[in-house]
Amino acid sequence: MAHSPKITIIGAGGFVFPLRLIGDLLSFPALRGATLSLMDLDAGRLDRVATATRELVAHHGLPTVVEQTTDRREALRDADFVIITFQVGGVESYRHDVEIPRRYGVDQPVGDTVGPGGVFRFLRSVPAYQAIAADALEVCPDAQFINYANPMAMATAYLNALGLRTVGLCHSVQGTTRMLARTLGVPYDEVSFRCAGINHQAWIVDFRRGTEDLYPRLRELMKERHQPARAASGLLSDDGDHSAEALAASDYEGGNEQVRTSLMNHFGYFETESSHHASEYVPYFRKDDATTLEYIPERWDYYEICAAHDEQGDVDEQLERLKADLSPSVEYGASIVNAVVTGVPAVVYGNVPNAGRVITNLPDDACVEVACLVDAGGVQPTSFGDLPPQLAAINRTNTNVQTLAVRAALTGDVEHVHHAVALDPLTSAHCTLEQIRAMTDELLAAHAALLPTALTGALTGQPAGQLAEARS
């Protein structure tokens, strides 16, 4: 890239992730001359992060230009990279996502990927995505979009459908492969692996140290260590920030992995998101309180973690860490920007449209997570081929939900919202179709002010209300 890049962050007022991401960008020498355009609708939260960013830049003596604005169009103007990191509706809307389904017997400890929580987190973001796309196609049509907002597969598929060149990024592949290497006592830089699937439900299909296949030892060790109804003790307490490399097993990942171990025992391969997440995506582990306790002996509840955050304290703590050590985290976003700017290749795991069948036994309209080569030509997904058929079959139960929710957003057909929720594996394990429709109607009403007008007109007769772009 011949000029210094402009990097725009939409939703920059978040309390942890935007500043961590800014630190990642500044850790690359080639990006220190960039313009960072920080945008959020909440001027107070934005000012907190922008002030911390300027303090970080000054501390390290960098030439970075830091802009802040509540004007989305100006933030997007002439951007080379646009990073999306927000949650529409904040913690209050998130509360509806988890509390309403719980009354119908659907308990989601996370609720941000599929299921009723994932579907409605996506749908209330749709007007914001539409507005971003309308501006971007005029003022930065060639920008590379990087999406960090959940639900990753739905949001990334929709942004691409709107015409934005978007890759979705997560840390679950990095986190899980590091956890497995740590479990086996193998240095991470000696491990190689292949992984593919969908976000939060990708599969590590090969895990090696040199020529040694590590799976036989992994299967034996995990089966012994993570048995149903047997809880681990002495685990680290997790605060929901998974950008840093974990040093030991926690109550989030690595400590109680009965769910993922059971999936591996029966389907052959290890999944890339924590057992708390994974238990939401299949019908086997959350049938009743007793079964849930067998497989999830210690609850990790993301809504409760988000609701309890000390926002200013989190920003201050992150700033002090970055002042002391401006090293990159495990996140891929800054690596993508650096590879495009410098032309030095990088490999990341990204979420991309499956058009052309990157994974040949998943649907064309799915959004899949695969290895991608990144260089001056941009993000280039690598062709994976077929997943083992049993893994593709599990993925399809989730892509059914995702593609129908995206279709609802694209067509304005509210029936597809009902279809998406009804096909969710966990929801259908607990509820009749009549109960699912009633729950979905209740969620439509609760979120009506933030949903696309086409999906709420019949319900409320009123247009969607003002959006609140803020990542919880």
- Burial (Cβ within 10 Å: 0-12, 13-18, ≥19) of residue 15: buried
Q: Inter-axis angle of helices 152-161 and 126-139, to 10 degrees? A: 40
Active site residues: 171
Cβ density class 229-267: b for 16+ within 10 Å, e for less:
eeebeebeebebbbbeebeebbbbbbbbbbbbbbbbeeb
DSSP strands (E only) in 148-291: 166-168, 191-198, 201-209, 212-213, 270-271
Q: Find how far residue 31's CA is from the centre of its chain.
A: 24
* Cα 66 to Cα 70, 207, 412, distances in angstroms: 14, 42, 38
DSSP strands (E only) in 169-229: 191-198, 201-209, 212-213
The owner of tokens 């040199």 is 210
DSSP strands (E only) in 332-382: 346-353, 367-375, 378-381
Question: Residues 331, 336, 339, 345: is their CA dihedral positive or negative?
Answer: positive
Q: Find how far residue 5's CA is from the centre of its chain.
A: 25
Half-sphere exposure (Cβ direction) of 195: Cα atoms closer than 13 Å: 30
